[in-house]
Amino acid sequence: MSIIASSFLLLFGGIKFYLGISRDKPVTFLFILIIISVVVLFNVIKPHKVKYTALGKKFIDHSYQRFEWLKKKENDISIFVYDGRGNVELTGRFDLSAFE
């Protein structure tokens, strides 16, 4: 079952739960079913477990190697501004270790 269909069913159950409470109807069984549905859907869909394809793994590994220089502490960025009169001034110095 897709995540859209399961979300629709949970939304429908939530609306029924709200209407039951607002009209003073017994909703305990519906509440228990909604909780069980959320637990079962979480175990079936498994959003916490991502499976990458071989090409996806290769791309991620290549990206880690390509941007390894950003993780090094000795790399920092200096920003220079050209004022139009031939002068260049340093406006700031930033350390990239804060982005780790």
**Of 24-28, 32-36, 46-50, which range is least confident?**
46-50
Reply yes or no on whether the pLDDT at 93 is more than 90: no
User: In terms of domains, do 63 and 26 share one?
Assistant: no
What domain range is 31 assigned to?
Answer: 3-45
Same domain, 59 and 95: yes
To the nearest whole number, what is the mean pLDDT of the chain? Answer: 78
pTM given for the model: 0.46
**Could you tell me if 58 and 95 lie in one domain?**
yes
Q: What is the dihedral of CA 33, 36, 40, 46, to 10 degrees?
A: 120
**Looking at the 3D structure of the chain, how many domains does it have?**
2
- Of the candidates 32, 30, 7, the residue with the CA atom closest to the CA atom of residue 19: 30
**Co-location of 60 and 35 in the same domain:** no
What is the per-residue pLDDT across 2-15, written as a single tens digit (0 to 9) for each?
778 788 888 999 99
